[in-house]
Amino acid sequence: MNADAPTGVVCPKCGERAGDSDQFCESCGASLTAEPTAAEPAVPAPSAPIEDVRTALTPPPPEETAVRHCSCGGVIDDDDWCTVCRLRAPSERDHFELQPVPNVAGVCDRGMHHPRNEDALAIAASMTRAVLVVCDGVSNATDSDAAATAAAQAACDALATAADPPSSVPSDRIDYWKEQCNAAAQIAQAAAVEAASHVGNVAEPPSCTFVTGIVDTPVVATAWIGDSRAYWFGDDGNATQLSTDDSWATDEIAHGVPRTAAEADPRAHSITRWLGVDSPGGDPSYTALIATGPGWVLVCSDGLWNYCSDAVALRDLVAATTAAHSGDPLASCRALVDWANEQGGHDNVTVALARVTLSNEA
């Protein structure tokens, strides 16, 4: 043996030389006394037991619903009524506001006396058109707010997403929007019927009126079923009630009864056409005009016009209101709703305004 040869043992794992008396390698910590074995493949860390994985994917139990209290201190039950004063709990539908673009807005309010808001409002606007829809739930029918809400949104969506008129000729566009309004009314009718299916078999199923105002400058078109209204108020003093109520009062006026007397009759607001399961059917009534100057389109429920029915008187009210609020449609709608409530607020009130300007105007 060569005296200069290194002594000691060689680590079977890393190959480092260790002393004769060492039991473990100082480099890798491997045992120097065990018989060398083939390296075993690395074993991954054990995964979570199946039970643990299943638990992790199970959503946590729902939190307990917080107890709601009325302003009187009573507890609100599952049907949204106070168990003490028996009034309905406030709802986000009691008062809501919409303003998709600066020149178009609307406000829908419960009024001062009704336990809930059965009016509905839907608005859409783009660079080329504005769509205003108001539906007024029939108060003596069950859950008519559901029918009104469904019908208003369905009709608004249909009119807002309709293709642009194929012609730029105003008269052709008037005809085009008549077709679109007929289709939108059918869609609104189907939505009202669908809403009624969730109420069940009741003696008076949900039903509502329908009116829409469409601004496709210079065309102003409107279609309606029932007694919610649309008006045109031109800056030149023009005051036009675009819609004609489908109501007992309108029939009486057509037979020569003075407007003030007919509208003061308790039967005045009995409508002759509506949307819903028991609707008499048919296309909506339709009319349109070509604006020759700037003005306002007003679409509203009878909660407003019942206190100011005449077109000239309502024009003056709207003109004074918009002037007082620097032409801001949202502030003006709020003020008109407040005005209706100050007159008594005996019904839900919905007001929507669209400012119309021609392309060559500021």
Distance CA 254, CA 17 (A): 117
Domain assignment present for 38? no
Distance CA 362, CA 336 (A): 26
Domain assignment present for 86? no
Domain assignment present for 42? no
Q: What is the pTM of this model?
A: 0.76
Domain assignment present for 197? yes
Q: Which domain holds residue 137?
A: 95-356
| C-alpha dist (Å) from residue 352 to 47, 110, 125, 181, 312 | 61, 15, 13, 18, 18
3-state SS assignment for residue 49 = coil
Distance CA 201, CA 88 (A): 23
pLDDT band at 268; cut points 50, 70, 90 = confident
- For the cut 80, the answer to whether the pLDDT of residue 61 exceeds it is no
Distance CA 270, CA 252 (A): 12
Which is higher by pLDDT, 216 or 56? 216
Domain assignment present for 22? no
- For the cut 60, the answer to whether the pLDDT of residue 191 exceeds it is yes
pLDDT, tens digit, 9 for 90 and up, residues 144-158? 999 999 999 999 999
Domain assignment present for 134? yes
Q: 3-38 burial, b for 16+ CB within 10 Å, e for fewer? A: eeeeeebebebeeeebeeeeeebeeeeeebeeeeee
- For the cut 90, the answer to whether the pLDDT of residue 41 exceeds it is no
Distance CA 127, CA 145 (A): 31
Report the candidate in 344, 328, 346, 357 with the shortest Cα–Cα distance to residue 107: 328
Q: For position 281, what pLDDT does the model report? A: 94
Which is higher by pLDDT, 78 or 353? 353
Tell me the longest C-alpha to C-alpha distance in the chain: 139
Domain assignment present for 298? yes
pLDDT band at 30; cut points 50, 70, 90 = low
Please count the structural domains in the chain: 1
Q: For position 85, what pLDDT does the model report? A: 81
Token pair, residue 8, equals: 């000691």
pLDDT band at 269; cut points 50, 70, 90 = confident
pLDDT, tens digit, 9 for 90 and up, residues 295-322? 999 999 999 999 999 999 999 999 999 9
| CATH number assigned to the domain comprising residue 170 | 3.60.40.10
Domain assignment present for 13? no
3-state SS assignment for residue 110 = coil
Residues with Cβ within 8 Å of residue 230, at least 6 apart in sequence = 132, 211, 212, 213, 222, 224, 241, 242, 243, 297, 298, 299
